[in-house]
Each structure stands twice: as structure tokens, then as C-alpha cells.
Amino acid sequence: MLPFELNEGSQPGPENPERISQGETAEEHACIALLENQLSLGDFVQIQRAFEPSEPSQTICMSREEFVQRMTEIVGWGTKEEYGEEARGEVFDKVDVAQDGCINWDKLTSFMLLTLYEKDEQAKAMVVPQWKDLECLPVKGKDTIQKVIFLKSSSRYLIIRKEGVVGIWGENLKLQEMLPITSDANKLKHLWLTSMTSLENVNKIAVAFTRKEICFYDLLSKEEFPCQYKLQGLKGTPICMDYWYDPFDANESILSLGGITGKVQVIAFTRALISLFEHPAGACEDEEATVTINWAEPCSGRHKCCYTLGHKLHCGDWVRQGTEFKQQ
């Protein structure tokens, strides 16, 4: 079956004299008027039967004269000139691109597939996108929105505000709830949230603060965004973050950080699905308890499940944006 739309009738519809008056250009009208563009599905069935050999191992090839004669008899419409009685670039000549002097069913179908494909591409190119009018979404509060991320696992949007509030929006862009990123209101008076990124493979988000720390929140917890890890003691305030994980081994992942010191630093996790950081010996086993890690610990290799890398090439300029990419 041809993978394009064909006329279903066994006969071509008569040319509609109102087409051009309805906004069709002369060029489009001439294209539609071509015989190959008017052939119906029923016509192709009849043509295919004319090329069917009596023996499966045989291939029927038709010369110009035979093709013109058989098509006018089988299809029952179209002139001999349109089928290619003379070498004027009509159907026979378009199919016989190698100028062998004969054509078979394979050559004919290849030509029609190419013709229909080009016609389909032209139709797509002429389609004008019907954009909907912009819609302003109501947002509670007047503080700056620092970051918007999309959670593929739950088809939700997270919007983080500078004052420490996370807005959860559904896929239909309806606000579901607003939650404070921490229950300690006193702390929020003295810090801002600077960036956020999603750790999709482990269902967590990382949030950076002006107090030179990054908190990792669990999205699967029944509580309201419990802080699972708190990474403190960074050399500068991180103002942008990006996260990447290996789609073939989700244990391997990288969190990159850019800050006001001009440095680009990364934390490479090697056992992310098990634990981002190691729990200190004798620590409470409560899953909701926050594990505090000092930046010097992963830098010195104390955590076997992660390590750090970094460089400074920006002469003190702030690193405001960055992203991970994998070389092919």
C-alpha cells in the first residue's frame, strides 16, 4: 500500500472550474491537473494488473507504444499524449528516467512514491502554524522566579522563587500547590534561593542557596520536600546548576555548578541509585533525617560514591549558565 493519500474513486473527478476562484494559484492548479496526480486507488489496481506476469519469475516491461495503448484501454481516461505517446516529458518519460525505452511496475511505483512524497512535503511546507494566543499564568507572590523545571516522571512543573517557595504546576499549567522549601521561616529571611535542577534518575531536586550550600530534596517522600542531604562549605555561592546521568547506567551522573568565583565545578556520582553521599558512621537510620556533608569531604575523597572536579578559567567573572554535554 502506498504510504500517502490517494483518491479512492475508480474514476478521476472532473476538474473543478471553481478551484482557482477559491484561492488556488495557477501553479497549484497546473500541478493538480497532471495526470499522475489524478490517478485513483482503483486506477492503480488496474495498472498493477496490467503488469502482472503469468509466471512469478517473469517481469513485464512495456515499451512506450505498448504502455500508452494499454493505459488508455485499462484506465479508461486520459489522453495518449498525457501517457507519453510522444517524448514530451509526460508519464512514460518521467518513469523512464534511465531512458531504457521500457518501464515495469517497480519503476512506475518508485516514480509515484517519489511524486506523492514531494507533494506531501510541499503541502507540509505551505501549512501555517495556528498558534494560540499567549496566556498569562497567575502567580502568587511578587518575588523573583529563579528557575522553572519539568519533571518527566510525574509530568509536573516546578517553579522556585527567590524567597524559598516551590510552586507545583500540573501538565495543564494549573497551579496545584505552593510549598516552602524549609519550615524554618527565620532562616529564609537571611538567604535567597539561587538555582534548582532535577535529578531525574533518583527522583530528587537540588536547590542552591546564598549561604554557599546545596540541599537535595526527595520528591518521593510523603512529607513536603524533606531535605535528604545538605552540602555545605562551598567556596562561593552557586548561581547555576545542571545535571546529567548516563541513560545506560543511571548510577553514573554529574552535577555541575557555576558560581560567583568564576569556577566551574562538578560532583560525579558513581552509585547514584544507591546513595549520593555516604552516611557518617553512627548516624541515625531515619530516612527523613538530613545528612550534612562538608564540601571538603568529597574533595578529599572521603566519599567513595562520588568525587569532585573543577577548573577556573573565567578570571573571576560569574558563571551564570552551563550545561552538560556528551561527546559523540
Q: What is the mean pLDDT of residues 159-177?
A: 83
Q: What is the CATH number of domain 145-312?
A: 2.130.10.10
Burial grade of 101 (CB within 10 A; 0-12, 13-18, 19 or more): exposed
CA distances from 278 to 11, 19, 281, 294, 300 (A): 76, 74, 9, 12, 14
Q: Round the CA-based radius of gyration of the chain to a whole number and report it.
A: 34
Q: What is the mean pLDDT of residues 262-271?
A: 87
Output the pLDDT for position 68: 82
Instruction: Encode pLDDT of 112-139 as tens digits.
Output: 888 878 888 888 888 777 777 877 777 7
| Domain ranges across the chain | 22-125, 145-312
Instruction: Encode pLDDT of 42-101 as tens digits.
Output: 877 888 888 888 888 788 888 888 888 888 888 877 777 877 766 665 778 888 888 888
For the cut 90, the answer to whether the pLDDT of residue 216 exceeds it is yes
Output the pLDDT for position 25: 47
Instruction: Encode pLDDT of 173-186 as tens digits.
Output: 888 888 887 655 54
Output the pLDDT for position 268: 93
For the cut 50, the answer to whether the pLDDT of residue 16 exceeds it is no
For the cut 70, the answer to whether the pLDDT of residue 34 exceeds it is no
* DSSP per residue, 33-98: HSHHHH-BHHHHHHHHHHH--SSTT----EEHHHHHHHHHHHT--S-HHHHTSSSSSSHHHHH-TT
Confidence band of 255 (pLDDT split at 50, 70, 90): very high
Output the pLDDT for position 317: 67
Cell numbers representing residue 39 in the block: 490517478
Q: 29 vs 39, which has greater pLDDT?
A: 39
Confidence band of 253 (pLDDT split at 50, 70, 90): very high
Output the pLDDT for position 287: 60
Confidence band of 2 (pLDDT split at 50, 70, 90): very low
Q: What is the pTM of this model?
A: 0.56
